[in-house]
């Protein structure tokens, strides 16, 4: 932009007030109604201004399997979130030139640097995935860096949540024991980390069920947004056999 004297001026993005921003990482193969229900519930409860859906480029637990290409998973996220102003598809973990995995801690740092430190950051995760958090790269730093929103299921207790933490962040054994009878609910505020439990999302959809239904040629209407269902169909994603990764990948078009 040109200032009145002709000199160029860079206008910094205006950050009017502190925002609550959440990152939501996953494979999203594909994004489904369960993911959207989680994001909506979290946005309402934590007054989130933005939820970034971050598809992983190469999830460590899925390296042996064939998953849909990153660009298809990203495209489906863009379609699924198009109608929700607060929901954004993110390229933060898009496959890089160099052959390395993006670690969540690096993604969080990049978001914080880009958005500024005045905002409050959350990370949304399902409880099944949270139970593995101690094995993540620099898990302790990650848990200290960002509040977690853990989407719980009825059979899980607060002790399950506490037990999943790296040892250094775990409450004393007596406290964990006392948690055994308490269903996962509310907020676990510990020295160094805050874990919020979201226990009211009841959407029993899974990406596995969507892929199975697609492979069997069944309707996807109850699992995914209409545009996502259309995309899966026309791009021939999740078909059984050698063409499992879709028409684009198969024909290299
Ligand atoms: P898959 O069936 O392939 O394991 P998924 O449906 O769990 O996939 P992911 O992309 O792995 O999808 O999910 C991203 C995150 O969302 C994970 O932390 C997962 O636990 C959570 N999640 C997925 N589906 C639901 C759901 N229906 N309700 C609550 N959380 C969910």
Per-domain residue ranges for the chain? 20-198
pLDDT score at 248: 67
pLDDT score at 154: 84
**Mean pLDDT value across the chain:** 87
The alpha carbon of 169 and the centre of ligand 1 are apart by a number of angstroms equal to 25
Q: Is the CB of 153 under 6 A from ligand 1?
A: no
pLDDT score at 10: 42
Q: Is the CB of 20 under 6 A from ligand 1?
A: no
Class of domain 20-198: alpha beta
49-64 pLDDT per residue, tens: 999 999 998 655 555 5
pLDDT score at 102: 78
Which one of 34, 55, 87, 222 would you pick to mutate in the ligand 1 pocket, going by the greatest count of ligand atoms within 8 A of its CB? 34
192 phi/psi in degrees, rounded to 5: 105, -15
Strand order from edge to edge, sheet including 87-89: 87-89, 50-55, 20-26, 120-126, 147-151, 193-198, 187-190
Question: Counting beta carbons within 10 angstroms of the beta carbon of residue 32, is it exposed (0 to 12), middle (13 to 18) or buried (19 or more)?
Answer: buried
Most confident of 79-88, 100-109, 145-154: 79-88
Q: Is the CB of 129 under 6 A from ligand 1?
A: yes
pTM tops 0.95? no
Q: What is the mean pLDDT of residues 119-124?
A: 96
33 phi/psi in degrees, rounded to 5: -65, -25
CA proximity to 73, closest of 18, 123, 31: 31
**Which residues fall within 8 angstroms of residue 229, CB to CB, at 6 or more apart?**
219, 220, 221, 223
Which one of 72, 152, 207, 238 would you pick to mutate in the ligand 1 pocket, going by the greatest count of ligand atoms within 8 A of its CB? 207
Q: Can you tell me the distance from the alpha carbon of 196 to that of 165, in angstroms, rounded to the nearest whole number?
A: 13
Q: What is the mean pLDDT of residues 15-31?
A: 88
Q: Using 50, 70 and 90 to split pLDDT, how confident is the model at 147?
A: very high
pLDDT score at 79: 98
171 phi/psi in degrees, rounded to 5: -65, 165
Q: What is the mean pLDDT of residues 160-174?
A: 92
pLDDT score at 85: 96
Other beta carbons less than 10 A from residue 245's beta carbon = 18
3-state secondary structure of 54: strand
């Amino acid at each position: 932009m040109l200032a009145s004297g002709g000199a160029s001026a860079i206008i910094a993005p205006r950050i009017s007030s502190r925002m609550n921003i959440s990152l939501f990482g996953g494979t999203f193969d594909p994004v489904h109604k369960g993911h959207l229900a989680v994001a909506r519930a979290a946005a309402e409860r934590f007054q989130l201004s933005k939820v970034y859906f971050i598809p992983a480029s190469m999830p460590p637990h899925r390296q042996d399997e064939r998953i849909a290409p990153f660009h298809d998973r990203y495209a489906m996220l863009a379609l699924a979130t198009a109608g929700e102003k607060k929901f954004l598809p993110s390229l933060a973990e898009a496959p890089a030139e160099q052959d390395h995995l993006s670690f969540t801690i690096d993604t969080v740092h990049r978001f914080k640097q880009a958005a500024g430190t005045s905002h409050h950051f959350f990370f949304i995760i399902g409880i099944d995935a949270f139970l593995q958090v101690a094995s993540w790269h620099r898990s302790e730093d990650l848990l200290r860096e960002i509040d977690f929103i853990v989407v719980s299921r009825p059979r899980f207790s607060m002790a399950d949540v506490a037990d999943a933490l790296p040892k250094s962040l775990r409450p004393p054994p007596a406290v964990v024991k006392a948690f055994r009878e308490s269903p996962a609910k509310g907020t676990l505020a510990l020295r160094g980390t805050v874990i919020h439990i979201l226990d009211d999302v009841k959407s029993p959809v899974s990406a596995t069920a969507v892929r199975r239904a697609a492979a069997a040629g069944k309707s996807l209407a109850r699992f995914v947004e209409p545009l996502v269902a259309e995309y899966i169909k026309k791009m021939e994603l999740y078909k059984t056999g050698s063409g499992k990764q879709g028409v684009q990948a198969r024909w290299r078009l």
